[in-house]
């Protein structure tokens, strides 16, 4: 007797396998069609390091034309720089996806030029464009590696270009920490550079004059930098009926009193949602007045105390001395009739290197201050007060009148005098402010006689040093140095970044500036264990996958063999 059971079973199984195969193929095709139609990306990392901020996506999606990014990080780097290089590449890959074809990038190795003369000229060209070179030193496999690198990029758009330096962070941090800070800032630096060249800002900043503020040449670098993002207007306060039409005002180192009418204009501007940045000295002290015999720093009569007090802060009539400070040239002796000059520590110029973790100051490098004072907060209902920047732990607070003499630089330091701890010298104030003119009439002749007593939500920032935004002038050429550049020590500090970040935040608190708050955890390997266990881990990574693959093949072979032996 002949049975047909086995052939029927084989036929049914073949049909089932064929249907399953067709189903898998159809599913894969459907998934590809969906992926092509509906774009999405999933970031499974704990710190969301591959997630692009919504504001960056929106900017990239609205690019009107092609942007080209030239990155000068091509080549073989040590592990730390390799990570920065890879992060820049991955970020630009993400940018290119959201830009919809309007962004291209290329990596360039400046050191690949073989002709020494051409290579040197190319290096100078990059430096003139604003890419800051760094001398890279690292130990790889017991060998010292040293080379010049240009960790930056040039962003080009319709004939305009801007330089972006990608090696940022605080110089006081370790090399690994600074590289990690640079990695955290890649998205912000690239996105800000693209915004600078591709989008014309429509917000207007008013630089207030008329009360002895910084002259235009002393503020030229800050104002020039702001013009790359915003429209900047300059006006004498007493000649302007109101501040309507402005989005933000800057008051930088006033030395003469504000009239009640001028204060009223500022107050009502803030009540109506205007933003303001105050860089104000409480005491009159400057090196030009010190001279051989010294001077006493006395309070300015600016007539601003009551207004700032109403808003939530008080500028104290003090000067801070700090062991963490800058240097000045000082004549220390004579050789014949020629004076001998040395750079000596000048504790009236604190270096500010303690910051809050706010987007304005996160990963900021040191800021240079001169004759800076203390700030206290006072009760102001509904106002959130955020300290932004502090002195070091080794500070000393001098009350008015403050003697300032060059002999101080020659005196032996007494550490017990520098125990005042960290002193806040800059505050961000956010909320609905109460008018200084509440329950008071408007000053005579005011263009807006009806006082707005309760303000709408807005933001202001107050710093207790007007010199934070003053650029030095080259005494030989009369040209302005870059803001934050110390000509005596040939060092650039982060004064401009502090001012620019503050203004960016005030004008666009929900925008790109918040990308600076991105935090990536640094998880360094134990270098001693890496060296000791290197061979074992190399074998594990190379051999283990092969062994697992072989085991999988053997197990699958015997399973298939057992299944088909039953038929």
Q: Could you give all domains of the chain from N- to C-terminal order, each with its CATH number?
A: 54-198 (3.40.30), 204-517 (3.40.50)
Q: Which residues contact 236 (CB under 8 A, 6 or more apart)?
A: 209, 210
User: Angle 54-61/79-98 helices, nearest 10 degrees?
Assistant: 60
Contact 427, 375 (CB under 8 A): yes
User: Angle 175-184/186-198 helices, nearest 10 degrees?
Assistant: 40
pLDDT tens, residue order, the chain (567 aa) = 445 555 665 567 677 777 877 888 888 888 777 766 655 566 556 556 667 788 888 889 988 889 999 999 888 787 778 888 899 999 999 899 888 889 999 999 988 888 888 888 988 999 998 888 888 766 555 666 667 888 899 999 988 899 999 888 777 677 777 778 888 888 889 998 998 888 877 899 999 999 999 999 999 999 999 998 999 999 899 999 999 999 999 999 999 999 999 999 999 999 999 999 999 999 998 887 776 678 889 999 999 999 999 999 999 999 999 999 999 888 777 776 777 788 889 999 999 999 998 999 988 899 999 999 999 999 999 999 999 999 999 999 999 998 898 888 888 889 899 999 999 999 999 999 999 999 999 998 888 889 999 999 999 999 999 999 999 999 888 899 999 999 888 889 999 999 999 999 999 856 777 777 665 555 555 566 767 777 877 777 888 888 888 888 888 778 777 766 655
Task: Tell me how far apart the alpha carbons of residues 410 and 347 are, in angstroms, rounded to a whole number.
Answer: 11
Q: Are strands 491-492 and 485-486 parallel, antiparallel or unpaired?
A: antiparallel
Structure tokens at 325: 């400070």
3-state secondary structure of 221: helix
Could you give phi then psi for residue 121, rounded to 5 degrees?
Answer: -65, -40
Closest CA to 460 of 250, 191, 224, 229: 250
Could you give phi then psi for residue 196, rounded to 5 degrees?
Answer: -60, -45
* pTM of the complete model beyond 0.85: no
Contact 416, 396 (CB under 8 A): no
Contact 327, 346 (CB under 8 A): yes
Contact 95, 41 (CB under 8 A): no
Q: Which residues contact 29 (CB under 8 A, 6 or more apart)?
A: none
Q: Is 204 exposed, middle or buried (0-12, 13-18, 19+ CB in 10 A)?
A: middle
Q: What's the length of the chain?
A: 567
End-to-end CA distance of the chain: 19
Task: Tell me how far apart the alpha carbons of residues 62 and 59 are, in angstroms, rounded to a whole number.
Answer: 5
């Amino acid at each position: 007797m002949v049975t047909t059971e086995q052939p029927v079973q084989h036929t049914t199984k073949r049909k089932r396998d064929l249907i399953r195969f067709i189903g898998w193929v159809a599913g894969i095709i459907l998934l590809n069609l969906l992926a092509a139609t509906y774009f999405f990306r999933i970031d499974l990392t704990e710190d969301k390091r591959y997630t692009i901020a919504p504001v960056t996506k929106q900017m990239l999606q609205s690019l009107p034309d092609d942007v080209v990014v030239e990155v000068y990080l091509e080549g073989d780097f040590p592990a730390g720089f390799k990570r920065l290089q890879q992060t820049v590449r991955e970020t630009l890959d993400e940018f290119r996806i959201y830009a919809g074809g309007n962004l291209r990038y290329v990596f360039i190795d400046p050191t690949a030029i073989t002709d020494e003369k051409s290579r040197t000229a190319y290096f100078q060209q990059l430096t003139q464009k604003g890419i800051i070179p760094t001398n890279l030193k690292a130990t790889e496999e017991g060998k010292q590696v040293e080379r010049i690198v240009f960790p930056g990029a040039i962003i080009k758009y319709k004939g305009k270009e801007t330089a972006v330096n990608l090696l940022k962070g605080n110089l006081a941090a370790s090399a690994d920490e600074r590289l990690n800070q640079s990695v955290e800032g890649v998205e912000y630096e690239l996105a800000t550079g693209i915004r600078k060249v591709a989008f014309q800002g429509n917000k207007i900043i008013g630089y207030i004059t008329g009360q002895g503020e910084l002259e235009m040449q002393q503020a030229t670098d800050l104002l020039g930098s702001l013009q790359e993002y915003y429209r900047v207007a300059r006006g004498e306060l007493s000649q302007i009926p109101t501040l309507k039409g402005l989005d933000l005002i800057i008051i930088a180192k006033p030395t003469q009193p504000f009239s009640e009418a001028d204060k009223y204009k500022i107050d009502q501007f803030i009540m109506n949602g205007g933003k303001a940045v105050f860089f104000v000295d409480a005491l009159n002290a400057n090196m030009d007045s010190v001279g051989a015999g010294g001077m006493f720093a006395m309070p300015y009569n600016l007539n601003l105390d009551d207004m700032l007090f109403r808003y939530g802060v008080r500028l104290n009539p003090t000067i801070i001395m700090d062991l963490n400070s800058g240097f000045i040239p000082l004549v220390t002796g004579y050789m014949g009739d020629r004076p001998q000059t040395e750079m000596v520590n000048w504790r009236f110029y604190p270096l500010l290197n303690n910051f809050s973790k706010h987007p304005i100051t996160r990963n900021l490098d040191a800021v240079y201050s001169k004759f800076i004072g203390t700030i206290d907060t006072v009760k102001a209902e509904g106002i959130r007060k955020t300290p932004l920047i502090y002195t070091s732990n080794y500070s000393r607070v001098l009350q008015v009148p403050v003697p300032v003499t060059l002999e101080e630089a020659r005196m032996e330091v007494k550490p017990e005098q520098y125990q005042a701890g960290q002193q806040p010298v800059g505050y961000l104030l956010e909320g609905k402010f109460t008018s200084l003119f509440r329950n008071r009439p408007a000053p005579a002749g005011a263009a807006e006689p009806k006082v707005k007593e309760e303000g709408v939500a807005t933001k202001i920032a107050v710093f207790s040093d007007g010199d934070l935004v003053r650029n030095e002038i080259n005494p030989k050429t009369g040209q302005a140095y870059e803001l934050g550049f110390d000509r005596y020590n040939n060092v650039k500090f982060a004064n401009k970044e502090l001012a620019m970040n503050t203004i960016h935040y005030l004008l666009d608190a929900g925008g790109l500036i918040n990308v600076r708050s991105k935090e990536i955890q640094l998880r360094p390997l134990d270098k001693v264990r890496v060296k000791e266990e290197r061979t074992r881990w190399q074998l594990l990574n190379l051999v283990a996958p092969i062994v697992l693959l072989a085991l999988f093949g053997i197990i699958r072979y015997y399973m298939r063999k057992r299944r088909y032996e039953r038929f």
